[in-house]
Structure 1
Amino acid sequence: MSYTVSFWRRPWIVPLLMVVVAFLAFSVPPYLTFDPAQSRLRPPEGNAVYYPLLVGHVLFGTVAMVTACFQIWPAFRARHPRGHRITGRIYVFAGALPAGLLGLYIGWHTAAGPSVRVANLVGSALWLAVTVTGLWLARKRRFGEHRRWMSRSFALAMSIVLSRVVNVITTIVLMPELDTTFRGSEELLRYSAASIGVWLSPLLLLLLADWVLERRRKPRKVQAATARSEPYVAP
């Protein structure tokens, strides 16, 4: 019964899973063909290793997104601690770390311009840094801090989903400026929208993650302060 209550207190679990499944169902299949012509990102000319590394990045990223959902599911974590540890290791070693490392290479060779290149590099480096920090804290058995850092890792893992939504919205908003600001260049408009998406999405999700974490800490602080302020009554 306690797990049912816990589930209903976190109604975002099912929608989150549905969003992840829908995103992966749309994004991943073209890369399962191993055909560069199906790639959603244009491979640089003369770079033979880009596409295989891109496929690896997509597949490792898929593992990270799926396992991350189980990592932040409180009922799963409470009821299946061993499963939580296993999926956590999968998330780190078969998801976030290889996807982040490959993301550095993919980000450096993007065709979307220097702003997107820097955003991709910063995002991948941050993802690696917070994930390694979370892993180190878990091994030190500092589980409270571990959860905070892995929540940030989860936010960065999901930023790719939000960036696609932001790209669409930004493209629609900027379209009236096609003939003025962008001088009729649809490619320049598309790159500008992509730049806004890759910068804004991780920032918003990191801020949201820290806001949620801080919100959860406040009731504990209030309880502790109340306990300290209550007069001691001898038994």
Structure 2
Amino acid sequence: MNKILVFIVALVSIQVYSQELFSIKNGIVIPAKEYSLWHFEDRDESIHEYQQIDSTTISARNGYSYDIRVFQHVKDDPDKEMLDTVFSKLEIVPRSPIVLLEAPNVLNKISFVNQGGWLRFNYWSFDPYSDNPRREIGDESFRYYHLSDDCIALVLRGWRDSVSPADLTLIVLYKNEAKLVYFVQKEITTASTEGDLVTIGLDTPVHDENEEDMISKIAHSKLILGNGTIILNDNYSVTDL
């Protein structure tokens, strides 16, 4: 009887805390929830306001590839102190496999603008709420993970301040699509790979009920990437500080 109760509790916990961030229906990526990147009304988004600071091409296992260009807006770094670090625009150009091309490859440019800004992935330390935050080497603008042969996830990190964690952004690439599927304030603590699955640990500070500037707890979440999807286990436990 006890074993049955334990199984039922575990099953309920999975249902309560786990959700897929997107699905693919009729060849289209459907985010489980709509998210909006930061947008300010007073910013000029003309092409001449941007300069390109990075570019790379990544490939899915099914033959699709994606040219990704990274742009910095003049207002991202008005004091010119982070010329090669902060950026606010991604341009993604999907390219179909040659075997699928019956006509010239028409380039479909997909843009994402986050006026709140992203930073190179390793700019901040990781696990900042622990006693031993760590730093990692590398200057990539984002990390990417294969979810399946035809699907890739991009992971980006934004600004962090003294109170709030950095913005975490997930974009899914699928064939000729690129869709925003997650945008929240959570800190990355760990990233580990086991077989075809990647698990990313996330922490969120919980502020004291009486003193808003004081952090009293840390809520723990995790993302599981693989098997064609991304599963969020949100706030599955809380640690008192």
TM-score by length of 2: 0.30
Higher helix share: 1
Q: Give the TM-score of the pair, scaled to structure 1.
A: 0.31
Could you say which structure has the higher strand fraction?
2
